[in-house]
Chains A and B, each alone.
Chain A
Amino acid sequence: MKRELNIVVNGESYNFFIEPKTLLVQVLREMLGLRGTHQACDSSSCAACTVIVDGKAVKSCSILALQVNGKQVTTIEGLADGTNLHPIQQAFIDNWAFQCGFCTSGQIMGAKAFLDENPNPTREEIQAAMDGHLCRCTGYNMINEAIRDAAKRLQALEAAKKVPAQRAPQVQKWMQTAKSGKGAA
């Protein structure tokens, strides 16, 4: 008997009636057409299908969709901001951290969840966190370098946010007129 599923995927709310045995990855790929998440094994060994559920990296092949009922799911398609790639995505490109690309979505989502918790990891910490992700093309070292690079970029962005922007003198003048009501549209 079908049951109701309510989830938010990449910021959009969805409501489905599904067989209870439906895996999260099936909802994502087949029902939502989000094919960036890939499956590369049938034994929960490879982590290619990794997505983020309420901030945690989750293998979408190893969790029933109903288990994430009411939760927020982010897939690879939800990472970029329009045409602006996420710093992790850009770091993967700049460091040649993928070749065939089939495991890449999982690697990037795994890295995101990890860096959100550990923004300044060592090489060993990256290896420990990413050890669940199989890759046959790269030999992993370039992926780890991309993740180190992404960590630096994200830290730089964070640091930039904390410095208040200096307003240009003209803009400061405009701000004054806005406060007083003069010149307001």
Chain B
Amino acid sequence: MKEYSIIGKPTPNVDGPAKVTGEAAYSIDITLPNMLYGKLLRSPYPHAKILSIDTSKAEELPGVKCVITGKDTPGGKWGLWRRFRELADQQALATDKVRFIGDPVAAVAASTEEIAEKALDLIEVEYEPLPAVYDPIEAIKDDAPMVHDDFPSNINATRHIEWGDVDKGFAEADYVREDRYVIEAAHPCAMEVHNSVASYDKGTGRLTVWTSTGSPYFVQQNIAEALKLREGDVRVIKPHVGGHYGGKNSTMPDAVNAAILSMKTGKPVKIVFNRDEEFTTTEHRTAQHMALKIGLKKDGTIVAFEAKAITNGGAFTGLGATTLFLTGTFITMPYRIPNYRYDGVRAYTNIVWGTSIRGFGAVPSKYCAETQLDRAAKDLGIDPLEIRRKNAVAPGYEAPGQYKFESCGIQACIEKMAVRVKEKWPNVEKDEGIGYCGFAYMSGGIFNWIDTPYAYSSAHVKVNWDGTVDLYSQAADVGQGHNTVAAMICAEELGIGIEDIRLHMGDTAHAYTDLGAWGSRETLMNGNAIKDAAGQIKQKLIDLARLKLGENIAYDLVARNKRIYLELRPERGLSYYDLVKDAIRANDGVPLTGTGHYTPHNKGMISPAYGMGIMAIKAKVDRETGHVTAQDVLVVHDSGQIINPLGARGQVEGSIHMGLGYGLCEEMPMDQGMLLNPEFVDYKILRTRDMPEIEILDVPTYEPNGPFGAKEAAEATIAPAAPALANAVYQACGAEFFSNVLKPEKVLKAIREKEKKDKESAKSKAPSKAKGK
């Protein structure tokens, strides 16, 4: 692996001083002069017609400045799948009917938050409750209530993926098994709730919105559609964001209604959800039913695989239709599957919608596939790590018509895992087990259902007289550390230090579009755009240096340590600072600039590059209480060239925390569409005492499609945690799970079922006793 000045070196967060001193401003901290506070009145019914809304009493409350209902909004609909107009199904406030508990029907702006809340109580809404549907299997029945008109049987989206001849594959298999799963929903639980501040300038007709989002560009597009404004008249600023994890991709009613209220009152309006609203009404990880069928040869080679998914889409599309597609692709990775078929349907139901939460498409599907694989391995008498090694792909592997792995270190990861596991856990005690899970994930998506006409990522770099650099891009740091990565890539390319770079990120006024932080796209896609932009400037400096040095044209020049010099004769070079001054003088006083962009082409259907690896978890199960303890985690990971080892480690550990929570305690029980645990006191996420030690081993590869060989680091590692844990319990005591949350009562039930199975199996094998002597 190549040695760089900055890339690959542990680098502190460029936002560090701001975040540790409380200086970092989140949109929830923003206060503007004359600002009003907005609140949303929400439906208590999962499905109901709105017969009438009387806002007169609310309007009369002193301090209330504006009350709106659906008819007072510009009426534009928006969505992230707007390539298909019928899937742009979100609106600011419900007009004819409400579709989930929490669907907003009215909005109030008042001089204080307290007055706005009081005003909500004064709004009278007459509803006619309608029959509702909550489960997707029920929703696709012929007689199910329709959530949206023109979507018979509530079929929101479908996806079919097929290659090879699956039926022939099954016919040739020595071993075939089918398993069915019910996978539960989970919430992203960002510490900063959804909130927005909108300020409409009546004079210019332009709107500025500060919002907690993963994609200022998505918000800009969606608000423009909702408010029937030109995109260019909407400026969206993403300040620091207190967590996202894919739950802040869809533009939500806080942003849109704050904008409408600001337009009507001529004052800035701030809307902040409370934690109850955050759990109840914002996007979550899709619950789904899955059926998997796998066919293998006696030696463990997979010959055929078929998967069916029926997912609980909820009331709107969001990015949920993308999740449906990715469910059918990540489920196959990182293994060779010669014959494959996937069918998925996403159903509209009367709950809040399921969408693109961290690791989307991979988390439920890998849970199913990898727990099934362990059972198949056991039946075939093959070691669980060995069966994964046997089927792991090699570099250059192509799933026909779908994806190709260029950099691909999975086999090296498994080899490293095999060695390290023996060293780390030489003995496994009673009721302990080691569970494995292979994984792979995209580095940004190729698909364009958002229908953007722009390059997927762009960046602009300007070098000033004193050698300082301004870097502009709409790319979003939502905590994953992208600002630091962006500065590192720019600095490495120009051969300068991070301290020389000023960042201007996440503001649509910069007009250097980036699609946002989802699908682990920022490092690869924005990184490529930044490297492209900085590279253009580097070339100008190199050309000038070549002129000034007058050396033999055969020599290559490099930019490093604030100099441009001959690679083979480092002592012969020029100062970066001097060259910059010369270049500006030679350019009629214009600063050096470069504008870079990146859009993947001819890279299959999913992504240009994939991070991948294998995870092992050692766990202990208490047969008396059903309590499962994740004791220790080992992950061997190929993230190509890691840009910032500190940030990458943080991301891997954070994703394992989410993945283990998904496997142990996170759930969203609902009764008639009402969420029963909308607060942290009841929705359990793991705390510091619950977290095991995590060891991360790196298998460096070089990804040709990524900047400096980089690709995704750490959305991949969320999916394997829950299945590896379930497999550890399976290895420990044989208990099998067909749902992801290993609550003690479920574990006990599974243990008893296993014990019962063993007894019955022993009975049927026992020879009958001869009577008498």
Contacts and interface: CB of A to CB of B under 8 A. Distances in A.
Direct A–B touching in the complex (beta carbon < 8 Å)?
Answer: yes
11 contacts: A40-B192, A76-B20, A99-B654, A100-B190, A100-B478, A101-B15, A126-B688, A127-B688, A136-B188, A136-B685, A139-B694
Q: Which 9 A-B pairs have the closest CB atoms?
A: A36-B22, A100-B479, A102-B242, A101-B19, A139-B657, A139-B653, A45-B680, A76-B22, A93-B16
A46 B278 CA distance: 15
B20 A104 contact: yes
B191 A134 contact: yes
B683 to A, nearest CB: 9
A69 to B, nearest CB: 23
Interface in B190-228: 190-193
Contacts of A80: 21
Nearest to A77: B22
A60 to B, nearest CB: 13
Interface in B381-405: none
Given A134-B191, A136-B658, A96 B650 contact: yes
Nearest to A101: B19
Interface string A68-83: 0000000111011000
B590 interface: no
A45 B275 CA distance: 11
A64 B96 CA distance: 43
Given A99-B481, A102-B243, A141-B653, 17 more contacts: A35-B22, A41-B681, A77-B22, A85-B21, A94-B12, A96-B10, A99-B650, A100-B190, A101-B240, A104-B19, A134-B687, A136-B189, A137-B191, A137-B650, A138-B650, A139-B653, A139-B691
A134 B654 CA distance: 12
B627 interface: no
A97 to B, nearest CB: 8
Contacts of B241: 100
A126 B687 CA distance: 12
B691 A42 contact: no
B363 to A, nearest CB: 15
Interface in B644-687: 646-647, 649-651, 653-658, 679-681, 685, 687
Contacts of B22: 34-37, 75-77, 105
Nearest to A108: B20
Given A100-B192, A138-B657, A139-B657, A92 B20 contact: yes
A102 B650 contact: no
A139 B17 contact: no
Interface in B690-705: 691, 693-694
A44 B679 CA distance: 10
Nearest to B19: A101
Given A103-B191, A104-B20, A96 B688 contact: no
A133 B688 contact: yes
Contacts of A143: 688
A140 B687 contact: yes
A46 B26 contact: no
Contact of B24 (A34, A101, A136): A101
A143 B657 CA distance: 13
Contacts of B18: 101
A137 B654 contact: yes
Given A96-B646, A108-B20, A140-B691, A38 B189 contact: no
A8 B17 CA distance: 25
Interface of B: 10, 12-13, 15-26, 28-29, 188-193, 240-245, 274-276, 478-481, 646-647, 649-651, 653-658, 679-681, 685, 687-689, 691, 693-694
A100 B657 contact: no
Contact of A99 (B21, B189, B193, B480): B480
Given A35-B29, A134-B685, A96 B649 contact: yes
A101 B240 CA distance: 9
Given A139-B656, A144-B688, A96 B24 contact: no
B195 to A, nearest CB: 11
Given A48-B191, A100-B479, A43 B13 contact: no
A79 B17 CA distance: 12
Given A48-B191, A98-B13, A142-B653, A42 B687 contact: no
A45 B650 contact: no
Given A141-B693, A142-B650, A36 B21 contact: yes
B693 A41 contact: no
Interface in A16-59: 29, 34-38, 40-46, 48
A130 interface: yes
A143 B13 CA distance: 14
A98 B658 CA distance: 16
A45 B191 contact: no
A131 interface: yes
B242 A36 contact: no
Given A42-B276, A137-B243, A140-B691, A93 B12 contact: yes
A89 B20 contact: yes
A127 B689 CA distance: 5
Contacts of A94: 12
B193 to A, nearest CB: 8
A103 B242 CA distance: 8
A149 B478 CA distance: 26
Contact of B653 (A89, A127, A138): A138
A38 to B, nearest CB: 7
A130 B688 CA distance: 7
A128 interface: yes
Contacts of A144: 688
Interface string A96-134: 101111111100100000000000000000111011111
Nearest to B277: A42
A172 to B, nearest CB: 39
A121 to B, nearest CB: 13
B240 A93 contact: no
B22 to A, nearest CB: 2
A34 B13 CA distance: 23
B726 to A, nearest CB: 19
A66 interface: no
Nearest to A93: B16
A101 B274 CA distance: 19
Most-contacted residue by chain B among A37, A41, A76 (CB, 10 A): A41
A102 B679 contact: no
A92 B19 CA distance: 10
A101 B212 CA distance: 13
A137 B688 CA distance: 12
Most-contacted residue by chain A among B16, B240, B275, B479 (CB, 10 A): B16
Contacts of A90: 20
A9 interface: no
A93 B12 CA distance: 6
Contacts of B654: 99, 136-139
Contacts of B653: 138-139, 141-142
A131 B679 contact: no
A90 B20 CA distance: 8
Nearest to A91: B20
Contacts of B188: 136
A96 B680 contact: no
A135 interface: yes
Contacts of B694: 139, 141
A93 B13 contact: yes
Contact of A41 (B12, B20, B275, B647): B275
A85 B274 contact: no
A99 B10 CA distance: 15
A18 to B, nearest CB: 14
B59 to A, nearest CB: 25
A79 to B, nearest CB: 7
A102 B275 CA distance: 15
Nearest to A88: B20
